[in-house]
């Protein structure tokens, strides 16, 4: 259904635009169903943007991004994924076994660019889905996106730390407070590590460290948090945004939200009747799944009952 929606004539000259800030490594597999119909911009300060295996238009941008265009210190850490314009906060990092990843190996002067400059150079006139993983400055960069583009962003992802691993980093609370007006939370995913003084961890040998990683409970230390736009305008002028939001909601299996949007916009375009039929089909076909799972669910309940009371 996603492919049918994104084949609508409204996307032929104005395809979905995805922007990945901090695009180290592979492209997120979650994007796969919409990538072939999209333009993807991938920005990273390091030379570690892996080759795109999807057949879509892609623009790779190697740049250090900031809220101001200037010459700034860029701190290259032991793990390139932790390099940042912000100084690692060793006082906090001393409490974690991953401290070594954040150790500064080199400090270099870097010419920074603003998002406004990057937008102008690449002639970007729209951003629909933005992912930010910029080591402490996600919210600053999101807020620096020109308002005309920022207001049209349908889905936004941030990766804030929970324990101030960088000095002066944007906090999760700041992000939540800023986003709550226009977005609702789609999901949280947490990254985990072991919280203990790094000197204690270093007293163990290689095999002991591997064992500790297996048996010791880990603590959440950062989160991937995704926001989805709420209260989209419901006019023919905004049909593109509505259809793209529906595609994203189907991608995320938020079927009842799709049905609500379709019911509220059914007169805008004939495609809404097709989308409604698809959603109702998904619901009805899943009745079979309910009946196939029920015996296993009851068996599990009975087994737990007998274990508890017999």
The one-digit pLDDT tens for each residue of the chain (310 residues) are 999 999 999 999 899 999 999 987 667 778 888 988 999 999 998 766 656 555 568 888 999 999 999 999 999 999 988 999 999 999 999 999 999 999 999 999 999 999 999 999 999 999 999 999 999 999 999 999 999 999 999 999 999 999 999 999 999 999 999 999 999 999 999 999 999 998 999 999 999 999 999 999 999 999 999 999 998 877 778 899 999 999 999 999 999 999 999 998 888 899 999 999 999 999 998 888 777 776 766 666 667 666 665 5
Handedness of CA 134, 138, 141, 145 (dihedral sign): positive
Q: Which helix (H) or strand (E) holds 77?
A: strand 71-77
R_g of the chain, CA atoms, integer Å = 23
Which residue bears the tokens 């007293």? 203
CA-to-CA distance for 209 and 213, rounded, in angstroms?
Answer: 6
Handedness of CA 261, 262, 265, 268 (dihedral sign): positive
Quick check: pTM over 0.95? Answer: no
Q: Would you state the pLDDT for residue 192? A: 95
Domains contained in the chain, CATH given: 2-67+114-231 (3.40.50)
| Strands 104-113 and 71-77, sheet pairing | antiparallel
Q: Would you state the pLDDT for residue 288? A: 80
């Amino acid at each position: 259904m996603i492919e049918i929606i994104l084949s609508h004539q409204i996307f032929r000259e104005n395809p979905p635009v995805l922007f990945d800030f901090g695009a180290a490594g592979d492209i997120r597999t979650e994007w796969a169903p919409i990538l072939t119909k999209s333009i993807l911009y991938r920005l990273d300060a390091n030379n570690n943007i892996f080759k795109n295996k999807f057949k879509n238009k892609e623009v790779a941008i190697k740049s250090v991004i900031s809220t101001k265009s200037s010459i700034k210190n860029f701190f290259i850490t032991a793990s390139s994924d932790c390099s940042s314009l912000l100084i690692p906060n060793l006082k906090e990092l001393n409490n974690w076994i991953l401290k070594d990843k954040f150790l500064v190996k080199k400090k270099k002067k870097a010419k920074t660019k603003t998002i406004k400059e990057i937008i102008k150079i690449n002639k970007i006139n729209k951003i629909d889905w933005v992912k930010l993983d910029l080591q402490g400055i996600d919210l600053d960069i999101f807020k620096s996106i020109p308002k005309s583009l920022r207001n049209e962003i349908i889905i936004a992802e941030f990766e804030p730390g929970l324990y101030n691993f960088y000095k002066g980093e944007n906090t999760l609370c700041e992000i939540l407070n800023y986003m709550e007006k226009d977005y609702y939370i789609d999901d949280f995913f947490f990254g985990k590590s072991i919280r203990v003084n790094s000197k204690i961890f270093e007293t163990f040998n290689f095999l002991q460290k591997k064992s500790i990683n297996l048996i010791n409970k880990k603590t959440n230390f950062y989160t991937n948090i995704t926001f989805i736009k709420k209260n989209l305008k419901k006019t023919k002028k905004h049909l593109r945004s509505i259809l793209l939001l529906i595609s994203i909601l189907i991608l995320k299996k938020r079927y009842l939200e799709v049905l609500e949007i379709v019911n509220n916009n059914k007169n805008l375009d004939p495609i809404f009747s097709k989308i409604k039929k698809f959603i109702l089909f998904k619901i009805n076909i899943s009745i079979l799944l309910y009946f196939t799972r029920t015996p296993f669910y009851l068996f599990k309940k009975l087994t737990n009952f007998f274990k508890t009371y017999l």
